[in-house]
């Protein structure tokens, strides 16, 4: 498929109130009138960026994952965002990629935000998730991962095939550091020659930290295709595979890339 449609859902979140968040998110998702393939929600969309996993965590059979299954099926879209999950007596900031048929993949946030003591409450993931949809490959990341370019770095086979076409970050990224957010999203697009989508929340959280959103879509040359600050927004954009291939063929920077291996 030459085109892939993403809907970015930039919203305020009710602090540690799952029912309220799922209700407003369901209303916003049901309001989408454009044809879309993937709906992207912020990080910890059902609770906000909470350090209380002992109180808020669910299993993969819990109500939030069941809500994702129901919503993806009824809207016939892929639904993605991160939630607090308990598994094997550990807690994870887990991004879930939910298909309309109820099947799913997941990615556990690799880089935990020690400045906010996330590392004291959650366990880090060890594997990336690159999902496939309609001939596109989508690399899925969470918030603080954005600061670590090696984790997202494209690797290539002998024919120069790219690992992925779209890099997605879901976030609760504070306004006070939004220069880094906007700069690094563009950098990831340019260095990996891919589309980048960043979906952030807006409003104050339970710690009175303000989030300005600044959700963005960026093309493989670093051009901003969409950006929204401070306001709630539900925005659908169509990505063009031919445009992506043109950039990669004209600027074959991948030929000069360093070979590397990530050691965990």
Given 16, 28, 43, 194, the catalytic residue: 43
Give me the catalytic one of 143, 175, 182, 228. 143
d(CA 171, CA 154) in angstroms, rounded, equals: 21
Q: With beta carbons less than 8 A apart as the criterion, state whether 46 and 62 touch.
A: no
Query: Alpha helix (H) ranges present in the chain?
Result: 18-30, 53-56, 63-75, 149-152, 178-192, 241-250
Is 143 a residue of the active site? yes
- Note whether 254 and 156 are within 8 A (CB): yes
Q: Which residues contact 64 (CB under 8 A, 6 or more apart)?
A: 18, 22, 46, 58, 83
DSSP 247: H
Which SS3 state, helix, strand or coil, does residue 258 take?
coil
Whether 109 is catalytic is: yes
Helix (H), strand (E) at residue 82? strand 78-87
43 among known catalytic residues? yes
How many Cβ atoms from other residues are within 10 Å of residue 101's Cβ?
10
* List 18, 69, 109, 182, catalytic entry: 109
- Active site residues per annotation: 43, 109, 143
């Amino acid at each position: 498929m030459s085109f892939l449609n993403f809907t970015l859902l930039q919203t305020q979140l009710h602090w540690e109130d799952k029912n309220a968040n799922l209700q407003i998110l369901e209303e916003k998702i049901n309001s989408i009138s454009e044809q879309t393939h993937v709906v992207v929600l912020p990080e910890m969309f059902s609770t906000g960026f909470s350090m209380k996993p002992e109180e808020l965590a669910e299993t993969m059979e819990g109500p939030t994952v069941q809500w994702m299954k129901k919503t993806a099926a009824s809207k016939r879209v892929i639904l993605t965002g991160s939630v607090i999950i308990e598994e094997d007596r550990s807690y994870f900031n887990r991004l879930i990629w939910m298909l309309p048929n109820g099947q799913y993949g997941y990615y556990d946030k690799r880089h935990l935000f020690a400045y906010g003591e996330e590392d004291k409450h959650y366990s880090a993931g060890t594997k990336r998730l690159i999902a496939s949809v309609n001939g596109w490959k989508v690399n899925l990341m969470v918030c603080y991962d954005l600061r670590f370019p090696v984790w997202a770095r494209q690797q290539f086979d002998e024919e120069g095939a790219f690992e992925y076409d779209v890099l997605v970050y879901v976030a609760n990224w504070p306004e006070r550091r939004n220069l880094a957010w906007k700069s690094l999203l563009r950098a990831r697009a340019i260095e990996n020659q891919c589309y980048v989508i960043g979906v952030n929340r807006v409003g104050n959280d339970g710690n009175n930290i303000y989030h300005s959103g600044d959700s963005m879509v960026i093309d493989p040359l670093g051009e901003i295709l969409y950006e929204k600050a401070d306001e709630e927004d539900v925005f659908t954009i169509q990505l063009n595979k031919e445009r992506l291939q043109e950039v990669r063929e004209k600027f074959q920077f991948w030929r000069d890339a360093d070979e590397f291996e990530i050691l965990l």
